[in-house]
């Protein structure tokens, strides 16, 4: 994708207070193209947090991770489009009918929203996949399988760790959006995410967008960290 590093960077607003989120958007929108609102913040603030971000002319990634029966997901996706979000997630494990219903709900309101499938959470390991979830495929095999279902159902792309990027690019080409969480600038800690990557590695392997949270939010100099990430993306 021929877009700037700023527009590729998604900041996860994993905070609890609207004032804190508002301060981050105010301070960082110059350097960040898209802000991600997940269940934690949306449950506390509701649609007003979406409006707040849009007022700053920034993109909104609503990380809803919808997972329900098709009729419910269709209505929820439609409501998300009405809020004016730019990107929306749902769980591919909900199956083809659910994903198709989400796309239909979104497209009935706004054809420009990117609908993205969550394949497997980056906190999952091969052991959890097999022993707890009873899935015999390897992590990569399951992710490729779920991404294929997403593509067939009309989704625009998937959320994936950097570890599966190259395989996904080979399988689905350049027009399938790949959004990578678990991004850590050089020298950062892992936290609970297992399949992490540096910004440079992710871009080189074919990522379209990078999601960064704690390395920025926990920093005493968030602008400095963002500038470092943008530089790493460029090299």
Q: Is 130 a catalytic residue?
A: no
Tokens of 67: 């997972």
Contact 89, 66 (CB under 8 A): yes
Pick the catalytic residue: 65, 75, 130, 200? 65
Could you give the 3-state DSSP secondary structure of residue 206? coil
Q: Which residues contact 197 (CB under 8 A, 6 or more apart)?
A: 161, 162, 163, 180, 182, 183, 184, 205
Tokens of 110: 């706004």
CA angle 25, 26, 32 (to 5 degrees): 50
Strands (E), 119-220: 157-159, 177-180, 209-212
Task: Quickly tell me which residue has 């080979």 as its tokens.
Answer: 170
What token pair was written down for 155? 């989704």
Instruction: Give Cα separations from 55 to 44, 79, 109, 131 (angstroms).
Output: 19, 19, 20, 46
Q: Are 66 and 91 within 8 A, CB to CB?
A: yes
- Residue 38, token pair as written in the block: 């997940």
Helix, strand, or coil (residue 184): coil
Question: Among all residues, which ones are annotated catalytic?
Answer: 65
């Amino acid at each position: 994708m021929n877009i700037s590093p700023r527009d590729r960077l998604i900041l996860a607003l994993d905070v609890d207070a609207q004032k804190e989120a508002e301060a981050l958007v105010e301070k960082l929108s110059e350097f960040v193209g898209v802000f991600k609102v997940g269940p934690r913040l949306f449950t506390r603030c509701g649609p007003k947090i979406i409006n707040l971000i849009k007022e700053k002319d920034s993109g909104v990634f609503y990380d809803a991770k919808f997972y329900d029966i098709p009729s419910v997901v269709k209505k929820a996706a439609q409501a998300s489009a009405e809020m004016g979000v730019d990107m929306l997630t749902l769980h591919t494990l909900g199956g083809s009918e659910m994903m198709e219903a989400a796309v239909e709900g979104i497209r009935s309101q706004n054809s420009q929203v990117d609908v993205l499938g969550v394949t497997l959470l980056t906190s999952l390991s091969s052991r959890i996949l097999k022993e707890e979830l009873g899935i015999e495929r390897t992590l990569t095999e399951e992710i490729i399988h779920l991404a294929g279902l997403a593509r067939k159902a009309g989704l625009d792309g998937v959320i994936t760790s950097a570890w599966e990027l190259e395989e996904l690019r080979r399988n689905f080409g350049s027009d399938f959006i790949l959004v990578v969480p678990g991004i850590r600038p050089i020298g950062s800690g892992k936290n609970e995410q297992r399949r992490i990557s540096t910004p440079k590695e992710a871009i080189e392997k074919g990522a379209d967008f990078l999601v960064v949270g704690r390395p920025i939010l926990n920093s005493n100099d968030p602008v400095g960290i963002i500038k470092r990430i943008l530089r790493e993306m460029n090299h």
